[in-house]
């Protein structure tokens, strides 16, 4: 079930069906040597790291862009309560 959830999250973040493109990167020589010794798939590892980095940066940007609205909503809840307070049974 977790795999389906992750795939859905990725499809929202970027087009998972898009083709692959070569990219030039610069990596510490010793780290690259160790990765190759350990049979680490560099492309897959970079892509997984980029998914997490892009998701985190997108989250931070969204929070920054919506900070005023979030703060205003929180002030409204503090002053007036939540719209569903009267419906709570706890």
Positive or negative CA dihedral for 40, 44, 47, 52? negative
| % the chain with pLDDT above 90 | 69
pLDDT tens-digit map of 37-81? 999 999 999 999 999 999 999 999 999 999 999 999 999 999 888
Q: Report the alpha-carbon angle 82-86-89, nearest 5.
A: 110
Number of other CB atoms surrounding residue 54 within 10 Å: 13
Burial-class residue 83 by CB neighbours within 10 Å (0-12, 13-18, 19+).
exposed
Query: Mean pLDDT, to the nearest integer, of 16-31?
Result: 95
């Amino acid at each position: 079930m977790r795999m389906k959830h992750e795939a859905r999250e990725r499809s929202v973040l970027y087009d998972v069906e898009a083709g692959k493109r070569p990219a030039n990167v610069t990596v510490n020589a010793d780290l690259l040597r160790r990765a190759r010794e350990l049979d680490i798939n560099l492309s897959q590892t970079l892509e997984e790291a980029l998914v997490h980095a892009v998701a985190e940066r997108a989250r931070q940007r969204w929070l920054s862009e919506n900070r005023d609205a979030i703060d205003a909503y929180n002030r409204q809840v503090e002053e007036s309560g939540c719209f569903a307070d009267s419906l709570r049974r706890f």
